[in-house]
Amino acid sequence: MLTEETPTSRPRKVRTRDQILGASDKRDGIYERILNAVMEHRLIPGTKLVEEKLAGVFQVNRTRIREVLARLAYEGIVTTIPNRGAFIASPSVEEARLIFQARRILEPALIRSLVAKADGEQFQRLHAHVAQERAAREAADTRAVIRLSGEFHLLIAQMVDSPPLIKLMRELSLLTCLIILLYDSPNVPACPNHEHTEVIQAMEQGQVDEAVRLMLGHLDHIEATLDLSLEEDTEVDLEHIFG
């Protein structure tokens, strides 16, 4: 899975990711490739990350892999279970709700910060990013659509230029990718292009409150496409089975 060609091997997309993620992340190819695989739904929740296999795939020693897994565990992307190993996290319904709650707090603040300092060049980059999303959608490149949708939100954080906020947004964005994979209804687009464009346009016109309202509506739409009643249903089924 990790050896197949990834979009990072295509020059255009490498540039985009480099813009979005900080310079320190560029140095860590293994970490980056695992994150990319999560963002593109190639690594799914519950997947066991076997140190030895990863060491073979990336041709590094197991210590190096352990360092990457520890970082991913710290960020909540990987869950470590004693005596069993490391797994791609499977956020619960409750965790999913908390992640959206955190995004509703963070993303309006990012928009307010960006509008206060953004220039025309930054808005052009945001529009260019949405154009890439649209192209991926038209090409039916689902993996790219999922990744680019999440990266739009990261790009806003990156433009605000605060490393702690970029870190928070990246983690929330990755966890959202896992949540979408766990709970999404099939055939529902993760982030409709026109909603991203509306947010950019409101910011461009200096309509901060409107941009915040549109972003919150956008997050509501994403959450609404998820079936977060799954876990409750499962519990009812268990009672039925053992009752």
Instruction: List residues binding Zn ion (CB under 5 A).
Output: 191
In terms of CB distance, is 89 or 191 closer to Zn ion? Answer: 191
Instruction: Please identify which residue in the block is written with the tokens 């030895």.
Output: 52
How far, in Å, CA of 233 to CA of 240, rounded? 11
**Nearest approach, Cβ of 196 to Zn ion (angstroms)?**
6
In terms of CB distance, is 32 or 223 closer to Zn ion? Answer: 223
How far, in Å, CA of 113 to CA of 168, rounded? 15
> Is 41 in a helix, a strand, or coil?
coil
In terms of CB distance, is 79 or 176 closer to Zn ion? Answer: 176
CB atoms within 10 A of CB 70: 13
**Nearest approach, Cβ of 83 to Zn ion (angstroms)?**
39
133: Cα separation from own chain's centroid: 14
In terms of CB distance, is 69 or 126 closer to Zn ion? Answer: 126
Instruction: Report which of 89, 86, 87, 75 is spatially closest to residue 179, judged by C-alpha positions.
Output: 89
**Nearest approach, Cβ of 126 to Zn ion (angstroms)?**
12
**Nearest approach, Cβ of 219 to Zn ion (angstroms)?**
8
Residue sitting closest to Zn ion (CB)? 191
> Is 52 in a helix, a strand, or coil?
helix
Residues 6+ apart with CB under 8 A from 191: 133, 149, 150, 152, 218, 222
**Nearest approach, Cβ of 221 to Zn ion (angstroms)?**
9
The string of DSSP codes covering 207-224 is -HHHHHHHHHHHHHHHHH
To the nearest 10 degrees (0 to 180), the angle between helices 29-39 and 142-160 is 120
In terms of CB distance, is 118 or 154 closer to Zn ion? Answer: 154
In terms of CB distance, is 30 or 191 closer to Zn ion? Answer: 191
**Nearest approach, Cβ of 133 to Zn ion (angstroms)?**
9
